[in-house]
Amino acid sequence: MHPYLAEFLTIAVAHALAVASPGPDFAIVLRQSLVHGRRTALWTSIGIGTGISLHITYALLGIGLLLMGSATAFTVLKYAGAAYLAWIGLQSLRSRPRTVPADGGGTKANPATAALPTGRAAFVTGFLTNALNPKATFFFLSLFPVAVSPATPKLVQAGYGVWLIFATMAWFCFVSLVFTRPNVRTAFFRHGHWIDRVLGVVFLGFAASLIFATLK
């Protein structure tokens, strides 16, 4: 087996396991899908995938090592991430009962909810959710040094990164399509405010976990 292929498979499998596990990215796509509909969820998914590029840049250029070696930089990042997730959580906790829309809860947003976010706003939400999560940074900083040889050309490493970006987008776009199916959203509109509030608690939990995170 070619060494580059072995590296790629190691990175691809590790990333697939990480991206499929529940976390802030999954939670925000779930909420966007159920509350705002398919278009918003897809733009959020694209934003999350783009956020991955930031962490990959850290790993390829070694800039992230400065973050890992600086308690101040780490503290600033984790509190910024915690504040953002806590804000999303509080917004979710304020959710009110919804009525089933005329389309039966299809791919459109419910007009009884807050104004539908623009594509740009949804993209930024996804990007910031991923970019402000230092645990995502550390995942890539630990993955690349272990799986990728220093002798591997930067262009090849960048190719690995491009795969991770589009694989992330593809996964969360799939999640968006699943949770914007009419039958799923119809059930959500009947009990949606409780689901939204539970997600609010989840986001607050993620925020707390970032606050108590420490450099190792």
Q: How confident is the model at residue 171 (pLDDT cuts 50, 70, 90)?
A: very high
- Determine the residue type at 103: D
Name which residue leads in pLDDT, 140 or 38. 38
Q: What radius of gyration do the chain's Cα atoms show?
A: 18
Q: Tell me, what's the pLDDT at 140? A: 76
Q: What is the pTM of this model?
A: 0.71
For residue 196, the model assigns a pLDDT of: 67
**Tens-place pLDDT, residues 66-81:** 555 566 766 776 677 6
- Residue 58's identity, in one-letter code, is Y
**What's the rounded Cα separation, in Å, for the pair 169 and 176?**
10
Q: Which residue has the tokens 């308690």?
A: 71
Instruction: Report the chain's terminal Cα–Cα distance, integer Å.
Output: 35
Higher pLDDT, residue 216 or 208: 208
Which residue, 136, 137, 91, is CA-closest to 113?
Answer: 91
pLDDT of residue 29: 93
CA distance readout (Å), 58 to 72, 82, 112, 155: 17, 20, 42, 15
Quote the longest CA-to-CA distance of the chain. 59
189 or 138, higher pLDDT: 138
Residue pair 144/157 in contact by the 8 Å Cβ criterion: yes
Distance from C-alpha of 185 to C-alpha of 31, rounded to nearest angstrom: 11
Q: Locate tokens 């939990």: which residue? A: 205
Q: What is the pLDDT of residues 23-52, one digit of tens each?
A: 888 889 988 988 888 999 999 999 999 999
Query: Average pLDDT for residues 115-119, to the nearest whole number?
Result: 83
Question: How many Å apart are CA 134 and CA 175, to the nearest integer?
Answer: 23
Is the pLDDT confidence value at 194 over 50?
yes
The confidence band for 105, taking pLDDT boundaries of 50, 70 and 90, is very low
